[in-house]
Structure 1
Amino acid sequence: MPRLSSATYPLSLFCVLVGTLFAQSTQAGTLEAVNHTHWAINRFSVEGRSGIDIIGPYQGGGGGCCYSAPSRWKSGMTVRVDWETGVAYPDGFPGFADEAKYDAWAEQIRTQKRKHSQIVPVPDYSGQKTCGLTVHFLPCDDLLVTTSCYAYGSPEYPIKTPLHLPEPQSCPK
């Protein structure tokens, strides 16, 4: 029998296969994200597992493998989300001809990157099928997560937050 590689099958199928290996205690799926902010999500991870994609403002993405939800939800269950935000569409690109101007512009972009980390409660999924984890990035560095198998925007999806949220003048904290 030929050896199978991860390039042979889509990532989601790979995660399903990994999930079947742990079927007694976990249900595996992909890491997805929905970005409700004007910042780019340069990278994100959940419990150290990469979400893979850069996610632009007001977009979805992810696709990292795999998040395995325990077979039973327990009160107080949380996940750690680490992420980096940055300027999505930087203005004033000077070109490459003047190296000093380019370096100054690139440094200005780098100074706007921010690293974040947050422990987020996982909502009760008792009695429901789980399909990985979707992280919602909200203004003021707030997060919501869900293990729902439904797509964002479908009537059954549990998080009803609109994609385009206004950025507040200041954030509480």
Structure 2
Amino acid sequence: MNWFEDPRSPRGVVGDLAHMRGTVRVGERLLNTVRSFSRIAGRLWQFFCISGLAISLTACGEDMLPTEITGYNHMTKPDGWSIGGFSVDGHGGANASLAGGAGNSCCMSLPRRWHPGMTVKVEWSYNHRAHDPDTTPPPPQMAMVEVPEYTVKNSGAMQVHFYPNHRVKVVVSKFGIEHMLYPMSEEDKKPWVSRKDWSKDKDDEK
């Protein structure tokens, strides 16, 4: 047997140790190489994320307006359904109880300038009926809804209105439903009503 291979030989032990050190050095080099690639990949990922964000913000600033989503459930007792949840063009909104609001959700984008024929896709589901919580709600609904005219000055949240018989309307406005300048008839606002104690701002009327 060769002395280098003989485990009983001191020189053989020294050879094994040298071989182990060489293996460790190779492993360290490989580890350092992996770390270098990881750092490069991380920097590339940050670059692409920042570039994509910059492009999105630029597009949003030039052509689109960011906006929140909110909703109103106009259905009331005894036969109305609560809204389990909804979305506008795939952007989610919250639930809404009977004669209640859905709160604000973030976010979606709208064209800076309204154009005729503009629509959004509204999807929603029902939760339960007030007087009979055990009744099976209707299936989820979907509707393409026309967006009424708005301007950059008066634009605001995308506000979705749910009515009996699966009817739905949308309004884009910086005002809330109880404001006198909210672009909706008093009939369509029910059960909400405009607050007459809110004075009109001349600048808001323009």
> TM-score, normalised to structure 1's length?
0.67
Give the corresponding residue for 2:72.
Answer: 34
Give the corresponding residue for 1:143.
Answer: 168
CA gap 1:155/1:84 in 2 versus in 1, 3 angstroms: same
Give the corresponding residue for 1:50.
Answer: 92
| Counterpart selection for 1:59 from 94, 100, 123 | 100
Give the corresponding residue for 1:163.
Answer: 190
Give the corresponding residue for 2:155.
Answer: 130
| Counterpart selection for 2:113 from 29, 47, 72 | 72
Q: Deviations over 1:26-84 (max 9, x none)?
A: 11121000110121100100000000x22101111132211211011111100000000
Tell me the distance in 2 between the aligned counterparts of 1:19 and 1:149: 21
Tell me the distance in 2 between the aligned counterparts of 1:20 and 1:35: 35
Give the corresponding residue for 2:28.
Answer: none
Structure 1: which 5+ residue stretches go unaligned?
1-17, 93-107, 166-173
**Counting strand residues as a fraction of each chain, which structure ranks higher?**
1
Answer yes or no: is the 8 Å Cα contact 2:91–2:108 preserved in 1.
yes
Identity of aligned residues (%): 29
In structure 2, give the amino acid aligned to 1:162: K
Q: Which runs of 4+ in 1 moved over 6 A?
A: 18-21
Answer with 1 or 2: which has the greater Rg.
Answer: 2
**Counting helix residues as a fraction of each chain, which structure ranks higher?**
2
Give the corresponding residue for 1:116.
Answer: 141
Q: Which has the higher contact order (CA 8 A, sep 6+)?
A: 1
Give the length in aligned residue pairs.
131
